[in-house]
Amino acid sequence: MSKILVTGGTGYIGSHTVVELQEAGYTPVIIDDLSNSNKGVLTQIEAITGTIPEFYEFDLCDEQKVVSFVENNPDITGLIHFAASKAVGESVEEPLKYYRNNFFSLINLLNAFKNRNINFVFSSSCTVYGQPTKLPVTESAPVQKAESPYGNTKQVAEEILSDTANAFKNYQIIALRYFNPVGAHKSAMIGELPIGVPQNLVPFITQTAIGKRAKITVFGDDYDTPDGSAVRDYIHVVDLAKAHVAAIKRMEEKKSKANYEVFNIGTGNGFSVLEIIKAFETSTGVKLNYEIGPRRAGDIEKVWGDVSKSASELGWKATLDLEEMMRSAWAWEVYLKEKNPFI
């Protein structure tokens, strides 16, 4: 079947998508600069699927290397673009890093492929909505002012993609606006592997539970939510990975209604930070040490998605529940402690 380029393919969402692509019969090719991942993930993918993916290590901000790669790989028909800096809090502190990494890499790829028929799936985010005025938020909701440089890069990237699709009809582009990915593969052999202090909630939970961290800080308990903590739509990373495969298939089968489309990818349910902590404790039997802290810059109060368009048009919906998200994340943390495959 088709050869699909996966940028950031050794990362958290990327590695799970590579597995789902392989299991669907595709041939994924990975580019990653390993700035926020580990090359050992390739061995883990091979252990799960029986096939080690083709891998190239370089920075997509290097235009000449991108051009050379595209010229030397004329059989690539699809591209899933994950590679980007992605932490909301860090983006507030280091905005220039985020604008460089997230824009240069995207523009270099679009330029390199602009003379080829290509199916392009972009890793977008619910952060494009800012703080929605109406929930659940639909794809037609107005884009609000971004609450962080990270969110702004996703908003502007979508504008770049829309303009590119308008100018170059050889592109078929789908932007997946996904909510908060959590959990790990059922094998417990791949999962979220943050370098340094985790920026996301669930790896901080699992690292606290296993003793790597002393406690979790809940950033704010004075939001206008049932328990005062921020609310998000959490989605299992395997469900999310399958959405990317569904997007590729939609474009291959010529089912797209336009050559630029957007879809929400979530469960359609909102859970607070404190509810996530309780769900982890209930599903694993492990108690957590947490404290309430001040709100974090760049965070919004509450968001969850209307995912009916993804169900009706993309033919995709989430199937794994919150307890499975927590159980699989914990199994991955335990696996890391026992096996240490990346050391």
Active site residue 223: no
Handedness of CA 253, 257, 262, 267 (dihedral sign): negative
pLDDT digits (tens, 9 = 90+) for 206-243: 999 999 999 999 999 999 999 999 999 999 999 999 99
What backbone torsions phi and psi does residue 100 show, to the nearest 5 degrees?
A: -65, -55
pLDDT band, residue 324 (cuts 50/70/90): very high
CA 189/CA 184 separation, integer angstroms = 8
Whole-number average pLDDT of the chain: 95
pLDDT digits (tens, 9 = 90+) for 115-162: 999 999 999 999 898 888 899 999 999 888 888 899 899 999 999 999
Distance between CA atoms of 306 and 265, rounded to whole angstroms? 9
Give the number of other Cβ atoms within 10 Å of residue 258's Cβ: 11
Specify the 3-state DSSP secondary structure of 269: coil
The Cα–Cα gap between 115 and 33 comes to: 25
Q: What are phi and psi of 293, to 5 degrees?
A: -125, 180
* Ranges assigned E (strand) in 141-246: 171-178, 180-182, 216-219, 231-232, 234-236
**Which residues, at least 6 apart from 310, have a Cβ–Cβ distance to it below 8 Å?**
243, 263, 264, 265, 316, 317
Q: What whole-number distance in Å separates Cα of residue 185 and Cα of residue 44?
A: 11
User: C-alpha 99: how far from its chain's center?
Assistant: 18
Distance CA 314, CA 243 (A): 8
| Residue of 12, 98, 129, 150 marked catalytic | 150
Of 54, 293, 89, the C-alpha closest to 194 is 89
Pairing label, strands 171-178, 118-125:
parallel
Q: What is the mean pLDDT of residues 73-97?
A: 94
- Number of Cβ within 10 Å of residue 211's Cβ equals 8
Q: Kindly state the average pLDDT of the residues 260-286.
A: 97
Q: What is the model's pTM?
A: 0.96
- Other Cβ atoms less than 10 A from the Cβ of 73: the count is 13
Whether the pLDDT of residue 343 is over 80: the answer is: no
